[in-house]
Structure 1
Amino acid sequence: MFRKVLYPTDFSECSYKALDYIKTLKAAGTEEVVVVHVLDEREIDLVSTGIGWLAGDRMVEYDAKLEGRMRENAQEKLNGILSVIKGAGMKAKAEVRKGYPSVEVLATAKRERVSLVVMGSHGKSNLAGAVVGSVSEEVLRKSTVPVLIVTRETQNACIGR
């Protein structure tokens, strides 16, 4: 039913909780998992703005080094996730993207032609009563395929579309 699954991760506790669900999908017919981590360009810009005293070429060079380190760190973590998924008997590949997380997740889902998105949500916005975070909420609203959202409190996950 869900042969190819997208697993977006921000490496949070909730993301790793979603990985536990991913591992069980082999029994449901999942053959391949695409893992994506998005470097949120707003966070990169925020760090750059905080050290805005660097001027011109030095700032561009610093931005490139910062992004390079962030990519390397993410790739190391993704390699560990790929091992877990492959160990569960599924094909897996991973990529690091840069942009707005929900936009990149939706674009990856479309490009990879996945049949399900499985993601963790921790409600970073801290809005009172928020059940899911802004990224997962936007993916849920705009996705053309089912989305399984795993939260801190998830015991029995539910799928929305």
Structure 2
Amino acid sequence: MIRLERILFPTDFSDFALPAQQYAAELANRLGSTLHLLNVVQDIEMISPDPASPFLLPTGQLPELMAATQENLNSLAQPLQDTGLQVVTAVRSGVPFLEILQYAEEQAIDLIVLGTHGRTGLAHVLLGSTAERITRKSPCPVLTVRPQALKAHAAQSEA
């Protein structure tokens, strides 16, 4: 029997993540699973053309940014916990897809639920896809949720 005791929802707090959050919370609720909320603060050296340039995030501000991110995760977790859901929050720093995969292994995650930006064509080639990288290398199944998923589901429910 397949048991989904630990569900991971990695979030970047974007609107694209909201449908995946709702799927992850609903699955965790129905299955009695623990929901893990994770945000990865991107490593400045990976996004800055010059690691010494201060235009993105001065290195000294990383602890403050991670603390603010933890507060955002706690705000996201509180309404879920109020419904009786068991929620674990975590903030990591580094390359998002690598940190998500490492967290999934360390926590023995059974399912990753994540949103996609739905990029195609040149934007996909240039920007890559965190969701695609996670799906290809994940130690567990991955459910990707497109931004239109909730709209389509709501339309079917009304019909």
Amino acid in the other structure paired with 1:14: F
Amino acid in the other structure paired with 1:51: P
Q: Deviations over 1:2-57 (max 9, x none)?
A: 221011111111112211112211453132111111011147762864338xxxxx
Q: Is the 8 A contact 1:5 1:30 kept in 2?
A: no
Task: Summarize the Cα distance change of 1:139–1:72 in structure 2 as closer, same or farther, 3 Å threshold.
Answer: same
Report the counterpart of residue 51 of structure 1 in structure 2: 54
Task: Summarize the Cα distance change of 1:118–1:43 in structure 2 as closer, same or farther, 3 Å threshold.
Answer: farther
* Structure 1 unaligned residues grouped into runs of 5+: 53-61, 157-161
Pairing partner for 1:81 from 52, 60, 76: 76
TM-score with structure 2 setting the length = 0.77
Q: Is the 8 A contact 1:33 1:85 kept in 2?
A: no
Matched, 1:63 2:59: yes
Task: Summarize the Cα distance change of 1:14–1:134 in structure 2 as closer, same or farther, 3 Å threshold.
Answer: same
Give the length in aligned residue pairs: 144
Report the counterpart of residue 91 of structure 1 in structure 2: 86
Q: Is the 8 A contact 1:23 1:88 kept in 2?
A: no
Q: Deviations over 1:91-142 (max 9, x none)?
A: 111111011101000010010001100111115x664485xx6111000001
Alignment of 1:86-125 (within 5 A): 86-123=81-118
Distance 1:106 1:20 in 2: 21
Report the counterpart of residue 152 of structure 1 in structure 2: 147
Amino acid in the other structure paired with 1:12: S
Q: Is the 8 A contact 2:4 2:31 kept in 1?
A: yes
Identical counterparts, % of pairs: 27
Report the counterpart of residue 142 of structure 1 in structure 2: 137
Pairing partner for 1:25 from 24, 27, 31: 27
TM-score with structure 1 setting the length = 0.77
* Structure 2 unaligned residues grouped into runs of 5+: 154-159
Distance 1:9 1:26 in 2: 16
**1:72 deviation in Å?**
2.0
**1:88 deviation in Å?**
3.2
Q: Secondary structure at the match of 1:89?
A: coil
Q: Is the 8 A contact 1:48 1:63 kept in 2?
A: no
